[in-house]
């Protein structure tokens, strides 16, 4: 919901602005540190660029470099590139994303194998009486060495619903049911929720999580992919967003996620700044 709310806010500001011959862009950077219960750790550097071409069309670009230190002599290095479009035809909204991921497994700095994942995602959203109703479909195709049993090909079809309610100007509620069907036969169901509260106009507190089962989950709001083949069982998180001005965001958060055989604690920090060019 973070990108969705920010996008709608910026589009409304653009619609009222006098910069008719300018383009509004919002670059951002996020750093994530992951502490794994199996003694591994990860560092992710991610950059985003939102380009508001008109009050109806927004382009989203994203690049992430993730490094996971598995053992003393082995690492997993992942590069992710994403491009997308958000179309605003109020009360209708459409989101289209393409995501490409390449992962390299190295031992003593020598590449042992590479895996590739392509993701195609689309979502339609409808606004009515303070509610956002949405439905998204994502298709993922992963090729490479994907788990310890030498799985070489996985396909995932993901259907995710969206019910968001603006309870008040300071309180947003979100529920997202999810169904995933994997080529290996897994049928996974989960339910996620998020509460966004503004105790003061410049600060947002977000509490979120999910319970159930999911794998290779693509989040088309925060544009992240949980690309582990192992089934994910639950997640909890909290995030603090501070807006020093209408076009600047400073963010920090903590997230705990549980897979079948291990857990990960994520520590997240980032900022976003919007400007006219």
Q: What pLDDT, in 10s, does the model give residues 241-263?
A: 999 998 999 999 999 999 999 99
Mean pLDDT confidence for 71-75 = 85
pTM, full prediction: 0.88
Whether 58 has a pLDDT exceeding 80, the answer reads: yes
Residue 2: pLDDT above 70? Answer: no
- Angstrom distance (rounded) from CA 27 to CA 193: 27
CB 215 within 8 A of CB 233: no
Q: Which of these ranges, 4-13, 82-91, 208-217, 231-240, has the smallest mean pLDDT? A: 4-13
Instruction: Write down the pLDDT at residue 72.
Output: 78
Q: How far apart are the first and last CA of the chain?
A: 26
CB under 8 A, 24+ apart: contacts of 3-7 = 3/50, 3/60, 3/221, 3/222, 3/223, 4/125, 4/221, 5/172, 5/196, 6/50, 6/249, 6/272, 7/50, 7/58, 7/86, 7/88
pLDDT band at 21 (very low <50, low <70, confident <90, very high): low
Peptide bond into 88 cis (omega under 30): no
Percent of the chain with pLDDT over 70: 92
Give me the pLDDT at residue 12, please: 43
Q: What percent of the chain is predicted at pLDDT more than 90?
A: 81
Handedness of CA 78, 249, 26, 161 (dihedral sign): positive
If DSSP codes are grouped into helix, strand and coil, which group holds residue 10? Answer: helix
Residue 3 is predicted with a pLDDT of 39
Whether the predicted pLDDT of 211 surpasses 90: yes
Task: Answer with the residue of higher pLDDT: 65 or 12.
Answer: 65
| Whether residue 162 has pLDDT greater than 80 | yes
SS3 label, residue 186? coil
pLDDT, mean of residues 25-49: 96
What's the farthest any 2 CA atoms get from each other in the chain?
Answer: 59
Q: In this model, does residue 13 exceed pLDDT 90?
A: no
At residue 146 the predicted structure's pLDDT band, cuts being 50, 70 and 90, is confident
**pLDDT for res 108:** 85
* Whole-number Å distance between alpha carbons of 121 and 225: 12
pLDDT for 22: 79
């Amino acid at each position: 919901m973070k990108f969705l709310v920010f996008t709608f806010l910026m589009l409304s500001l653009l619609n009222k602005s006098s910069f008719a011959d300018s383009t509004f862009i919002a670059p951002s950077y996020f750093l994530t540190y992951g502490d794994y219960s199996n003694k591994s750790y990860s560092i992710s550097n991610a950059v985003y660029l939102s380009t508001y071409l008109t009050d109806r069309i927004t382009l989203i670009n994203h690049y992430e470099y993730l490094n996971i230190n598995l053992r003393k002599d082995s690492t997993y290095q992942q590069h992710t590139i994403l491009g997308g479009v958000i179309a605003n035809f109020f009360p209708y909204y459409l989101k289209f994303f393409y995501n490409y991921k390449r992962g390299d497994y190295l031992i003593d700095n020598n590449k042992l194998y590479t895996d590739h994942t392509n993701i195609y995602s689309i979502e339609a959203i409808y606004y009515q009486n303070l509610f956002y109703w949405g439905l998204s479909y994502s298709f993922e195709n992963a090729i490479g060495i994907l788990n310890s049993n030498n799985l070489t090909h996985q396909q995932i079809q993901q259907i995710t619903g969206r019910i968001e309610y603006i309870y008040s100007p300071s309180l947003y509620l979100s529920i997202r049911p999810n169904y995933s069907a994997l080529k290996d036969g897994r049928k996974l169901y989960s339910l996620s929720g998020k509460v966004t509260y503004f105790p003061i106009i410049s600060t947002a507190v977000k509490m979120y999580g999910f319970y159930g089962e999911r794998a290779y989950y693509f989040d088309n709001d925060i544009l992240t992919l949980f690309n582990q083949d192992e089934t994910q069982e639950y997640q909890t998180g909290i995030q603090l967003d501070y807006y020093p001005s209408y076009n600047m965001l400073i963010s920090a958060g903590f997230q705990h996620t549980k897979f079948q055989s291990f857990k990960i604690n994520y520590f997240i920090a980032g900022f976003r700044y919007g400007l006219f060019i």
